[in-house]
Amino acid sequence: MTKRLQVLFEDDEYRALQQSAADERMTVAEWVRQTLRQARRGKRRSADRKLQAVETACQHQFPTADIDAMLEEIEKGYLPQ
């Protein structure tokens, strides 16, 4: 089943959409559908990459310390010696 979506644009915005569609030799409707699909895929890939980075980071074992001790060491690094 297909659904209709109505989106209102200012004249100059719509002309820009028409030009973009013409540049790709497609109708405005098809250009909008393809652009929205690409945007959805891009968002999904972005989330997948972030999750993969977290999963990869969780596999490592880095040295850690108490937060107060780490902050103290950081501050010492900023002070002239």
Domain count for the chain, please give it. Answer: 1
- On whether residue 79 sits in a domain, the answer given is no
Residue 75 domain flag:
no
> What pLDDT sits at residue 78?
75
pLDDT at 81: 61
Flag whether 78 is in a domain.
no
Asked if residue 32 belongs to a domain, the reply is: yes
Q: Quick check: 21 and 27 in contact, CB under 8 A?
A: yes
The pLDDT score that the predictor gives to residue 31 is 96
Whether 44 is covered by a domain: the verdict is yes
pTM here? 0.54
Domain carrying residue 57:
1-61
Per-residue pLDDT 10s for the chain (81 aa) are 989 999 999 999 999 999 999 999 999 999 999 999 998 888 777 888 888 888 988 888 877 788 998 888 888 887 666
Q: Is residue 54 part of a domain?
A: yes
Residue 31 placed within a domain = yes
Please name which of 9, 13, 29 lies closest in space to residue 21, comparing C-alpha atoms.
Answer: 29
In a domain, residue 57? The reply is: yes
Nearest to 31 by CA among 44, 16, 41, 17: 17
pLDDT of residue 15: 97
